[in-house]
Amino acid sequence: MDGLDDLKATYLTAVATVQDEAALEELRVSALGKKGEISALMAGLDKMEPDQRKAAGAMLNVLKDEIDAALRAKKAGLSDAALDARLREEWLDVTLPGRPRPRGTIHPVSQVMEELTAIFADMGFAVAEGPQVESDWYNFDALNIPPEHPARQEHDTFFMHRDAGDARPPHVLRTHTSPVQIRAMTEQGAPIRVIAPGRVYRMDMDQTHTPMFHQVEGLAIDRDISMANLKWTLEEFCRAFFEVDKVELRFRASHFPFTEPSAEVDIRYSNVGGQLRIGEGDKWMEILGSGMVHPKVLAAAGVNPDEWQGFAFGMGIDRIAMLKYGIPDLRAFFESDLRWLRHYGFSAIDMPDLAGGLSS
């Protein structure tokens, strides 16, 4: 059979020079495919004499095997090269130091809210919420602060926009968390035990006042709750919150329209060289207002004052955060200075709870 050497040379050269797997596959088809050259020659064997056929068939088989082997070897070579190229491209230096990510922290106010929620939850208080844009009825009237009452002026209220000629009183940015007392009692009735932490607003700005600050309201209504329960609850709270055995609270007679009697509560602390310590020293810081809920307030929320009574308090969250964590200036709380946040912020992974420790 003539020409087989040429055929072999042509294919082997082509296989040697081919550059990619697609072209190699084309070569395979044109040589060994059903309609390929070798297959055509094989088909021609039928017309030969038996002797001739045997010799030619053997030669064709050898040629076929040679070309097949060359194709396979080339294919393996090409796919190795492709893998090498990919590995080179996707190479990763695992010894490189990781890129530092911006590290977020929990703001002291959020931390303190979690801490106090954990403590009051342990005493059986649920969390209640109310809107920050509040109607003037919830913020004032329902709390026994009628329109002409001087307490309205003392609150330095931010009023929402009102169209000229609108007779209704404007909504306000709530000046305290006390309206949540009304909302919670209206929704749930009595008995009830809730706290309501959140933002409040007043037009005021100096080292200890910002136009937005945080309070937590407390409310406990039942058949025979007294001032003694209030005192125990607050002392127990302070002991747990400040994580010290000894806390000393001072109850001062005061006046709020929504409580009768009313008391403001101060906590004993010392300030030695800017270091604040709770439970010692000769300084007092006011941390909250409190009292027995006024019968008119219960009635405004649909709770019968002849049947139910209880205490309420409103505590400054930012104040107790400053005291516990020794943060001197309130304004820095809301300046979003990353250095301040990194210094005073808390890890996002440690959720405060009483069993695992509040602030550790």
Residues that bind ligand DAH (CB under 6 A): 176, 178, 217, 256, 258-259, 289-291, 312-314
Radius of gyration of the chain (CA): 42
User: With contact defined as beta carbons under 8 Å apart, do 170 and 199 qualify?
Assistant: no
> Given 3-state DSSP classes, what are the helix, strand and coil percentages for the chain, each rounded to the nearest 5?
45, 20, 35
DSSP 273-313: TTEEEET-SSEEEEEEEEEEEPHHHHHHTT--TTT-EEEEE
Provide the H-helix boundaries in 155-300: 179-188, 227-242, 295-300
DSSP 119-130: HHHHTTPEE---
> Of the two residues 179 and 352, which places its CB atom closer to ligand DAH in the complex?
179
**What values do phi and psi take at 159, rounded to 5?**
-100, 145
> Of the two residues 11 and 262, which places its CB atom closer to ligand DAH in the complex?
262
Please state the closest distance from residue 309 (CB atom) to ligand DAH, in A. 13
> Of the two residues 316 and 352, which places its CB atom closer to ligand DAH in the complex?
316
Q: Cis link prior to 179 (omega < 30° from 0)?
A: no
Please state the closest distance from residue 162 (CB atom) to ligand DAH, in A. 24
Tokens of 60: 């064709």
Please state the closest distance from residue 184 (CB atom) to ligand DAH, in A. 12
> Of the two residues 67 and 298, which places its CB atom closer to ligand DAH in the complex?
298
Please state the closest distance from residue 312 (CB atom) to ligand DAH, in A. 3
> Of the two residues 115 and 264, which places its CB atom closer to ligand DAH in the complex?
264
Please state the closest distance from residue 259 (CB atom) to ligand DAH, in A. 4
> Of the two residues 71 and 178, which places its CB atom closer to ligand DAH in the complex?
178
The Cα 269–Cα 249 span in angstroms is 10
Look at residues 205, 219, 197, 200 and name the one whose alpha carbon lies nearest to residue 294: 219
The Cα 331–Cα 290 span in angstroms is 26
Please state the closest distance from residue 314 (CB atom) to ligand DAH, in A. 3
> Of the two residues 20 and 154, which places its CB atom closer to ligand DAH in the complex?
154
